[in-house]
Amino acid sequence: MQRFILSKKNQITLVSGILIVIGFASELIFKNEAVAVAALVIASIIGVVPIAIQAYQALRVKVVSIDVLVTIAVVGAFFIKNFEESAIVTFLFLFGAYLEQRTLNKTRSAIKELTEMAPESALKLMENGEFEEVEVDEVDVGDVLLVKTGAKIPVDGTVLTGEGSINEASITGESLPVSKEQGSNVFAGTILDNGTIQIVADRVGEDTTFGKIIELVEEAQDSKSEAERFIDRFSKYYTPAVLVLGIIVWLVSRDIELAITILVLGCPGALVIGVPVSNVAGIGNGARHGILLKGSEVIGDFSRVETMVFDKTGTLTVGNPAVVDKKYFGDQIEEALGFLASVERESDHPLGKAILTDIGETTFSPVENTEVIKGGGIKASVNQHSVAVGNVALMEKEGVPLNEEARAAIAEFENQGNSLVLTAVDGELKILMGVRDQIRPGVKEDLAKLRKLGVKNLVMLSGDNQRTVDVVSKELGLTEAHGNMLPEDKSAYIKKLIDAGQIVAFVGDGVNDSPSLALANIGIAMGSGTDVAIETSDVVLMNSDFSRLPHALGLAKATARNMKQNILIAVGVVLFLLAGVFFSEWMNMSIGMLVHEASILVVILNGMRLLRYKLR
């Protein structure tokens, strides 16, 4: 019966409102006192029933809730025959709860949109060679699936055949379609805008990136910050204190109506709901923009970050080295380029891939007697020629003469922050290449935004040589830059900053920088949805888009600020109402409940502003 009554709260609210209108109309217009009293009495009784049930349920678990205060106040008003106020208070309380639920549902809309994007079915290749539609839960790792234009990708997988464009907004927050072909990775919950592809399932169900995103966002919304935990403790003692205050006022003044009014006015509803609604709205905004904020504790710490430390490769830079400078010496350069390409084709070093891309089409020759020189490069025999590819130290070791022109070019390339690759054929320098990782487009402007948002120190840590690091640092205007750092050196540096009392955020790619991500106050992963990034960090930029970082920090600051605003509004309203009881003659239960419910709506609407937050 209790469950049935509580499920009909909205209908009870509507009937109660109609009866109150009938009651006041009968009294003021038709001058029928009997009908007016009957309507208000019935409105009071049916209105207080769901509130009393909630109060009873709270008392069973030894909690003095707001419902307990309102129930006592309404019953007291009813027995002193103040039927107008008992009816109005119950209606306003129920109607306020209805509006709260409506607006709170809107704050969770971003998460609801995410869950609605979850795929429900898939076209699975069966043993008879035909594709049949099955529930997504029936798909196992290794199954082959067919995805047609307009369909959702059902699992995380790899494209086997076909090609097309996929909208990955549900994962990355970026609506521009991404081209996919054989060998490309695809994510569950994304949409194939055009084309037809077959994929093999790599991860299914809750193990997919999409499943983990939903799980993490839901966990984040349920997590509580220090402010929320304080408010929970405060409410636990505050609500019984209001009840005791009401009893004391009645014992001293013998004014039951004053005591009942204090119970209504002292309800801490806006205080209890103000911080959670800000938290939910802030996390929802982040989810819409491809930013995972793992809970309100993270939001609080992130909003106070003073120092932001960046990994270089893949964070401030694109992560794909390219040949940016080159100089040739002597003749037969085309032959030398072919020898260089032949040697580099045998290597999987990132610099080698950059060189092959730059050389393009050429004539390859068989490579023999390959010898890798640690810290130097590669020696090999190509088409009966001795070829050495590597740094200056290797050239000097092999006795390759470097004239003034070559040394001047080497110095110039190094000053520009390049990694040098020299190629010698039969002991004669032929090719000098400068390879450099390109700075991400727009990073300099994004770093300026972070400074405007209050980040005092921008620090770069990298495994590259100090000269390369200094060039990047100077171009970006960083506070500090340190090169030749191993992962353990980076985490030791961050620990030193934290021990010095700074609040530190570390931004990395979530793979080799996992120790630093875990150690920093706030770990921010340029994740692209990788497992390590999602699990290790506190904040994940799902499409590795650096431009989302200022939005994430601005959102965290706006959310923390919004929480404080809501606390001030809630406390201010309660103090105003209680002052009105003792120092004015116009304050009563009905006005108090109206202001109380209005304050709850104000803090909810204030929190909902975060759903529309954009960095100015």
Q: With a cut of 90, say whether residue 92 has pLDDT above it.
A: no
- Give the model's pLDDT for residue 172: 56
Q: Residue 216: which pLDDT band, with cuts at 50, 70 and 90? A: low
Q: Residue 100: which pLDDT band, with cuts at 50, 70 and 90? A: low
Q: Which residue has the tokens 């959670």?
A: 276
On the 0-12 / 13-18 / 19+ scale of CB atoms within 10 A, 535 is middle
Other residues' Cβ atoms within 10 Å of the Cβ of residue 406: 18
Per-residue pLDDT tens digits for 192-209: 988 899 999 998 988 887
Q: Residue 218: which pLDDT band, with cuts at 50, 70 and 90? A: low
Alpha-carbon gap, residue 538 to 519, rounded angstroms: 11
The whole-number average pLDDT for the span 68-93 is: 84
Order of strands, sheet of 539-541, starting from the edge strand that comes earlier in the sequence: 291-293, 539-541, 522-526, 504-508, 307-311, 457-461, 480-482
Residue predicted with more confidence, 513 or 292: 292
The whole-number average pLDDT for the span 50-69 is: 86
Per-residue pLDDT tens digits for 467-490: 778 888 998 999 999 987 877 788
Q: With a cut of 90, say whether residue 511 has pLDDT above it.
A: no
Residue predicted with more confidence, 499 or 525: 499
The whole-number average pLDDT for the span 517-534 is: 72
- For the chain, give me the number of helices (H) and strands (E)? 23, 20
Q: In what helix (H) or strand (E) does residue 540 lie, and over which residues does it extend?
A: strand 539-541
- Give the model's pLDDT for residue 61: 86
Q: With a cut of 90, say whether residue 457 has pLDDT above it.
A: yes
Residue predicted with more confidence, 191 or 171: 191
- Give the model's pLDDT for residue 491: 84
Alpha-carbon gap, residue 153 to 171, rounded angstroms: 12
- Give the model's pLDDT for residue 42: 95
- Give the model's pLDDT for residue 485: 81
Q: Mean pLDDT for the chain?
A: 85
Residue 177 pairs in a beta bridge with none
The whole-number average pLDDT for the span 340-352 is: 82
Which CATH number, 3.30.70.260, 2.70.170.10, 3.30.470.20, 3.40.50.1000, labels domain 290-318+440-550?
3.40.50.1000
Q: With a cut of 70, say whether residue 112 has pLDDT above it.
A: no
Alpha-carbon gap, residue 383 to 55, rounded angstroms: 90
Q: With a cut of 60, say whether residue 246 has pLDDT above it.
A: yes
Lowest pLDDT segment from 259-268, 307-316, 393-402: 259-268
Highest mean pLDDT among 99-113, 309-323, 467-481: 467-481
Q: What tokens appear for 212 in the block?
A: 């983990």
Q: Residue 498: which pLDDT band, with cuts at 50, 70 and 90? A: very high
Q: Which residue has the tokens 């070093």?
A: 349
Write down the H helix ranges in 8-146: 9-28, 33-60, 66-79, 83-107, 109-116
Look up 311 and say whether it is catalytic. Answer: yes
Highest mean pLDDT among 57-66, 161-170, 600-609: 600-609
The CATH superfamily holding the domain 319-438 is: Calcium-transporting ATPase, cytoplasmic domain N (3.40.1110.10)
- pTM here is 0.68
Q: What are the residue ranges spanned by the domains of the chain?
A: 121-151+156-203, 290-318+440-550, 319-438
Q: With a cut of 80, say whether residue 107 has pLDDT above it.
A: no
Judge contact between 400 and 365, C-beta under 8 A. no
Residues 6+ apart with CB under 8 A from 7: none
Q: With a cut of 50, say whether residue 414 has pLDDT above it.
A: yes
DSSP letter at 314 equals: I
CATH fold of 121-151+156-203:
2.70.150
Q: Residue 340: which pLDDT band, with cuts at 50, 70 and 90? A: very high
Q: Residue 529: which pLDDT band, with cuts at 50, 70 and 90? A: very low
Per-residue pLDDT tens digits for 539-598: 888 777 888 999 999 999 999 999 999 989 988 988 888 888 888 888 887 888 788 778
Which of these is catalytic: 301, 311, 437, 509?
311
Number of residues that make up the chain: 616
Q: Residue 113: which pLDDT band, with cuts at 50, 70 and 90? A: low
CA distances from 198 to 160, 192, 284, 558 (A): 5, 12, 33, 44
The whole-number average pLDDT for the span 291-310 is: 88
The whole-number average pLDDT for the span 217-239 is: 64
DSSP letter at 315 equals: I
Q: Residue 445: which pLDDT band, with cuts at 50, 70 and 90? A: very high
- Give the model's pLDDT for residue 418: 82
The whole-number average pLDDT for the span 143-152 is: 92
Q: With a cut of 80, say whether residue 9 has pLDDT above it.
A: yes
